[in-house]
Structure 1
Amino acid sequence: MKLEGKVAIVTGGASGIGRAAALRLAADGAAVMVTDIDDAGGAETRRMIEAAGGKAAYRHQDVVEEGRWKEIVGDTLAAFGRLDILVNNAGIGSGQLVTEMSLEAWNRQIAINLTGVFLGCKHAIPAMRAGARGGSIVNISSVAGLEGSAGLAGYCATKGGVRLFTKALAKECAAARDGIRVNSVHPGIIDTPIWTKIDEGGLSSASEALGQPGANMLSADMVAAAGTPMGHAGTAEDIAAGIAFLASDDSKYMTGSEVVIDGGWSA
């Protein structure tokens, strides 16, 4: 119960890494505000936490809407009285070649994957500072934020942006002596629903790069087996464990760091 008495917001908590993170933080003692655009999935995450004896609430949220961020932070304070942890997890993956990518698709990735992280930090930090207890912000980047990948240029740009935004903000908070730590997590190939949502253009390009031309859809395990030293995809719970570590006092001397959980992919 390393997080007992603490309160977290987890975006994109309806499935995948977001759900696993919400469940793990709750299991470690935190009350969790789960947000997503998938209301059924988000409500199910809340139910799962409560069924296990934890505390949770769910709110619909599109992370690109600044006004909604103000409401989410306000609702969290009203429901649980404080805010200690923010997990900026909501994101999308769009696999398209640059020459075939529309400006709309580019802007959508930037808005959700990068601007959403900025807005979350902007509105969570004052609430954390108001409590004078510090806090922990965990921004979910990717190994695609560490190295380029053909067919995923837009996604790489957003996740690389999250990486350096995290480091800059960590220094701002450290300079303010507010006790707020800001770190990023970089998952590798993880078996989550995002693989069913990436459009086929980029996946076809990726399949050719992996020596599997003609594949219309790649599974996480197919990609991991081709490029991960450990030979298999990770699980959402693997990432949740890293998030919980950064949220807890076990990482109290870490800020501006990047925690890579990728089965050796980037090695």
Structure 2
Amino acid sequence: MSKLVVISGGANNIGKGIAFGFLNEGWNVAIIDNNIEALKKIKEPNLFKFFGDVSNEDDIKKFYNELKIKYKRLDVIINNAAIGGFKNFFELTLNDWKKVIDVNLTGYFLMVKYGAPLMLDCPGKGSIINISSTRAIMSEPGNEAYSSSKAGILGLTHALANSLGPNIRVNAISPGWILHENEQVSEIEHKQHLVGRAGYIQDIFNLVLFLSENKSEFITGQNFVIDGGMTKKMTYI
């Protein structure tokens, strides 16, 4: 039976690209997303789609219950769902803060809490990949909630690697500027990167796939920055 990967926030951009990347590799793929219109636009018959909110515990339980019935296994979890919530710090309300943390961090916790038992019931070993951000380690004004949530993901990653090993490996990926679907940028914006271009969704998928397979079986608890070198570039104005 083909392996199963689940992807939160899989109806758009990086999540969608990862989903179709796995489909092209012959995997079974299931996504959960709270954007119903984006889900409806995806017509791929081999993709299991679930409308749900990752910060809602009942939605996560229902999602995994359906997967257990349909696939009877789980091999990889890709935590990707996120919201921005960028706002002037003095205008950031407690509800704004809580919403970002609930989706971007608590959602990852719930996806693992209810997915790991199904993964442990499967033959072989599992892999969890948490999509963080370079904003976990660098910021701009107005990033308080988002950067805190993404930094929290890094802590959650190495904690889970300790709790779930040796049968489940847990790693994080921190993307920098990754061009979304149909996004175009100027040549100057490309050339500011040390590699001469901004990132593509395929750049993220290439590492996700590697971390999902046995070739990476000695890697866990790590954070991989994919940013074209931008976090290593010193810039003064």
- TM-score normalised by L of structure 1: 0.80
Q: Which consecutive unaligned segments of at least 5 residues does structure 2 have? A: 233-237
Deviations 1:151-181 (A, max 9, x none): 212111000000111011101112xx3x101
CA distance in 2, matches of 1:181, 1:222: 39
Residue of 12, 18, 21 corresponding to 1:21 = 18
Deviates more, 1:162-171 or 1:123-132: 123-132
CA distance in 2, matches of 1:226, 1:107: 37
1:105 equivalent in alignment to 2:100: no
Residue of 202, 218, 222 corresponding to 1:237 = 202
CA contact (8 A) 1:109 1:155 kept: yes
1:192 equivalent in alignment to 2:217: no
CA distance in 2, matches of 1:222, 1:108: 36
Secondary structure of the equivalent of 1:266?
helix
Secondary structure of the equivalent of 2:77?
strand
1:158 equivalent in alignment to 2:149: yes
The AA in structure 1 aligned to 2:34 is I
Query: How well do the aligned residues superpose, as a CA RMSD in angstroms?
Result: 2.1
1:262 equivalent in alignment to 2:227: yes
**Do the aligned partners of residues 80 and 89 (structure 1) sit closer, same or farther apart at CA in structure 2, a change above 3 Å counting?**
same
CA contact (8 A) 1:82 1:128 kept: yes
The AA in structure 1 aligned to 2:209 is A
CA contact (8 A) 1:43 1:58 kept: no
Percent identity over the alignment is 31
Which residue pairs with 1:214 in the alignment? none
Deviations 1:126-173 (A, max 9, x none): 111122422111111001112233221211100000011101110111
1:75 equivalent in alignment to 2:63: no
Structure 1 position 188, deviation (Å): 0.3
1:125 equivalent in alignment to 2:116: yes
Structure 1 position 222, deviation (Å): 8.8
CA distance in 1, matches of 2:68, 2:115: 11
Residue of 186, 210, 217 corresponding to 1:252 = 217
Deviations 1:74-101 (A, max 9, x none): 1112122211111111001122122221
The AA in structure 2 aligned to 1:158 is S
Structure 1 position 226, deviation (Å): 8.2
The AA in structure 1 aligned to 2:59 is R
CA distance in 1, matches of 2:22, 2:68: 17
Which residue pairs with 1:183 in the alignment? 171
Q: How many residues align?
A: 231
CA contact (8 A) 1:167 1:182 kept: yes
**Do the aligned partners of residues 233 and 180 (structure 1) sit closer, same or farther apart at CA in structure 2, a change above 3 Å counting?**
same
Which residue pairs with 1:12 in the alignment? 9
Going by fraction, where is helix more abundant, 1 or 2?
A: 1
Which residue pairs with 2:235 in the alignment? none
Secondary structure of the equivalent of 1:127?
helix
CA distance in 2, matches of 1:143, 1:220: 19
- TM-score normalised by L of structure 2: 0.90
CA distance in 1, matches of 2:137, 2:220: 18
Structure 1 position 247, deviation (Å): 1.1
Structure 1 position 221, deviation (Å): 5.7
Q: Which consecutive unaligned segments of at least 5 residues does structure 1 have? A: 196-218
CA distance in 2, matches of 1:17, 1:220: 17
Secondary structure of the equivalent of 1:119?
helix
